[in-house]
Chains A and B, each alone.
Chain A
Amino acid sequence: MDGEELTEQETALYDRQIRVWGADAQRRLSKAHVLIGGMKGTIAEVCKNIVLAGVGSVTLVDDSPVTEESLNANFLIPSDETLYEGRSIAEVCCDSLKDFNPMVHVSAEKGDLSSLSTEILEKFDVVIVSGCSLSTKKAINGKCRKLSKRIAFYSVDCRDSCGEIFVDLQDHSCTKKQVNETVECRLQYPSFEEAIAVPWKILPKRISKLYFATRVIERFEETETRTSGETSLADLPNVLKLRKELCEAQCISESQIPDSLLERLLLGKLEFPPVCAIIGGILGQEVIKAISCKGEPIKNFFYFDAADGKGLIEDISNPNSAS
């Protein structure tokens, strides 16, 4: 790192966390620029965590208006209607976030996630999206990968009391503590498109059922041109049909994707706030790990389900490819 020192103010504010990750990591954080799209409850948690951590800047993209639904798990939206009427959810959240840490530059950008250009993406070190369609996810991840600059890409979603995080750090080097020594490690990540293309048959048998169930729902929304989360129990018959097709094509048993789980995901348009806090906390930590190059990051999916209480890392990459 260059020799730039943390200011006295930064040292005082970040005292407790510098004791966790060191002054060097704190300096890297203060130079990182993060783009965030899709302001739901989980994202509000992520924003809070990285603004408190002291990243350089956070740019929010979400033109949608504030609705009753968006108030559900998002504590960045004040209840006073006069404060959000006629404004985009990104603008409203931006105001609240600025207060959390005066040393972080927070702004709201107009526009749509799916139309983000590579020129814009290039300004960032980290891109996090939530609530976007399968094709948008693939597209943004793909654009990030085309740039010569290495951008960390994350997608995150919560449905019902389940959450999923996807991580693509491309080619990532970091240091991690092992017993009493610090070791270097290097990780190769597949893109989102590559990861979900890995044949289900070759995945470990005990992989989280949430992985398959989420892929089914994601595919369903895509073929029906629904927005993310725009589902109901009425969709169950069609979703079960799709499950059958996919399981047959992938040569796995339908029992890997229980009906009950699909039902929960179809119904769970509203996020469950405790799960937002958990998923948002884990993702916030991952972003800090990626920026600071300290600690072994998740590769490449993370699942939490309040029903069993497990927070699981799943590595979904093709063992035959380079990664």
Chain B
Amino acid sequence: MASQQQLDAIKGAKVLMVGAGGIGCELLKTLALSGFQDIHIIDMDTIEVSNLNRQFLFRQSHVGQSKAKVARDAVLKFRPHINITAHHDNIKSSDFDVDFFKKFDVVLNGLDNLDARRHVNRIRLAAGVPLVESGTTGFLGQVAVHVKDRTECYECYPKPAPKSYPVCTITSTPSKFVHCIVWAKDLLFAKLFGDKNQENDLNVRSSDGASSSEHTDDIFELRNDEDIDCYGRRIYDHVFGYNIELALSNDETWKNRTRPKPIYSSDVLSNNQQNGNLDKSCSSSDVALVSTMATLGLKNPQEVWNLAENSKVLLEALKLFFMKRQKEIGSLTFDKDDQLAVEFVTAAANIRAASFGIPLHSLFEAKGIAGNIVHAVATTNAVVAGLIVIEAIKLLNKDLENVRMTFCNEHPKRKMLLMPVEPFEPNKTCFVCSKTPLTLEVNAPHTKFRDFIEKVVRAKLGMNLPTVMKGHFLLYEDGNDLDEDERQKYEANLEKVLSKLPSPVIGGTSIVVEDLNQTLSCEINIKQREEFDEEKEPEGMVLIGWLQAPTDTENKASVQNGESTSGAGTDQVMPLEIAEDEEAEVNAVSKKRNFSEISNSSVSHPLTGNDKTSKNKEVILEDEGDDLIVLDHLNSEMAKKKRLV
């Protein structure tokens, strides 16, 4: 049990928990049992059925209610005399500002997305409150401690970007089922039901440049007098038949590849075949219940449908969208909880897979891939929550020497399922915690200010309400309290190129970008550069000092993180890839942070080694002194990066 000193620290502590999901439920329970008396918990999400297998404070009857509030009530049942304050709100709300954070002794994160993690990291840095960060995926988990000026902050080292695939793999040469899913979701579904003004690469371009797309804009439109069944078959034949024929005409493409097989609806379905019985279950006015599986009598989501079944599902889903959900067409985006959308995407991906000789998958599997559903089990969350509390107690006791970053391994590493390592030191060039200026290489006379705001300020720096200043000159501001004049002025600025802004942003100048909500300010030095490599630097801008994790060389059409901020099912976002080859790992000569990734996000898994000569602090000595884990600091990695840029 804890010492008296520890108990006193626990009793007197005020703790902020962010997230009441998988880790959050476990954490709140363990904090309460451990004697914590004053806990605030923030979560904007409501409870869903798929949470119930691990978020054990919630019951079927709570579905739809606030996670934070229900979690609070459930814990008070076994610890009625402690104070738990539940906030059913977005952590990014301006209510949770620096002053709010300053009231707490420690912040504990059980979040499911990068965006919120960055936000918490920035505010707690400004407030000077230590943070325990956590994440799980399946059997893998991680707990990290972030103390200002002492250990790395959450953003000191890059977090891998979402997995993405080259456009041509998606549009022309899929080789894996996931490629078919991306095609079905981001291209076909988006084309038929989404915003018509969005760019879409659905139609393949043939080799000679003669595009099939002269008349394509209307190909996907339902014609005035067209019967919905005919429309479905026309779309079917176009994307699975005609487009494949067209692609086949380019012999060069198929030299070293298996040629796909065009599929026409008449090959698969008889011409006058009646599709499902629309009246059977679609009398329901509840849009959420509209489903082809119901009308077609397909019950098991784990079953793999054959080509004919997939074809029926596709046509039926298309029809149901037009008949039952007409109003949404033109504004739909794929949502993994939208049954009809999942059915459509599953069927379309499978038909395409059949065409390309790729094995078909069940709706259950397809949903997981399309929705980027994170694998989650209760046990890992429980373990991680226990580890968080242990680190939190160390922080409250100011026992900074002993804080650890811990990895939960699926397979033991040197006998360890739970592997503690010393925390990394802060990155001295981190733009978040060290306020190091960044450098932007850009072609100022040819780059729109809007691109800079979107691609650099929002996407890379993660700012939500940015302000951009050059000297005292305000170039851009975002927020609700702008008056109309200002808004118009900034709108106009967005359309200008950098060098034509009211105060020109050109090589040799510098600007300051701020997000007051995040209390983050950073200086960007501008460096003029004319040429950019279209493949490697497609944005036409290079931000130096900001580290992007290496991703696959593949790029472009990305699988979006389906869970996003309000994502229901995830407890993760810092999964780790674990090297399978233990020997190689132990003998690794070069020790560095190993950036690898799993799906939408991940964090590095440090390599271990036997380097006793390391003068680095990051050496953990076991009692015998002959068994040590060395985690090389990132200096080598940083140095390498610097050389690269």
State the A residues within 8 Å of B (CB). Answer: 5-6, 8, 11-21, 23, 41, 45, 48-49, 52-54, 71-73, 75-79, 99-102, 160-161, 178-179, 205-206, 209, 267-278, 280-282, 284-285, 288, 295-296, 298, 302, 304, 306, 308-314
Contacts and interface: CB of A to CB of B under 8 A. Distances in A.
Nearest to B30: A277
B80 interface: yes
A73 B416 CA distance: 25
Interface stretch (B311-319, B404-412, B482-490, B609-617): B404-412
B139 interface: yes
A232 B248 CA distance: 81
B628 to A, nearest CB: 11
A184 B30 CA distance: 37
Contacts of A312: 415-417
Given A75-B33, A273-B30, A16 B373 contact: yes
Contact of A20 (B26, B138, B420): B138
Nearest to A287: B379
Interface in B386-439: 386-387, 389-390, 393, 404, 406, 408, 410-412, 415-420
A274 B386 contact: yes
B420 A78 contact: no
A311 to B, nearest CB: 3
Nearest to B29: A75
Given A8-B299, A309-B418, 16 more contacts: A16-B377, A17-B375, A19-B368, A48-B378, A52-B53, A53-B379, A54-B53, A79-B80, A101-B52, A274-B386, A274-B387, A277-B30, A278-B382, A281-B379, A282-B383, A284-B379
Contacts of B626: 206
Contacts of B376: 16-17, 19-20
Contact of B389 (A20, A178, A273): A273
Nearest to A97: B56
B286 interface: no
Contacts of A270: 1
- Which of B49, B77, B381 has the largest number of chain A CB atoms within 10 A? B77
A20 B375 contact: yes
A71 B418 CA distance: 28
B382 A274 contact: no
- Which of A5, A100, A285 has the largest number of chain B CB atoms within 10 A? A285
A11 B339 CA distance: 14
Contacts of B580: 178-179
Nearest to B410: A295
B380 A5 contact: no
Contacts of B75: 75
Contacts of A302: 417
- Which of B385, B410, B417 has the largest number of chain A CB atoms within 10 A? B417
A20 B139 contact: yes
Contacts of A73: 33
Interface string B605-630: 00000000000000000111011000
Nearest to A304: B418
Q: Which 10 A-B pairs have the closest CB atoms?
A: A311-B418, A277-B386, A309-B420, A281-B382, A273-B33, A281-B383, A278-B386, A274-B386, A274-B389, A285-B379
Contacts of B32: 75
Interface in B61-102: 75, 77-80
B2 interface: yes
Contact of B624 (A21, A23, A45, A206): A206
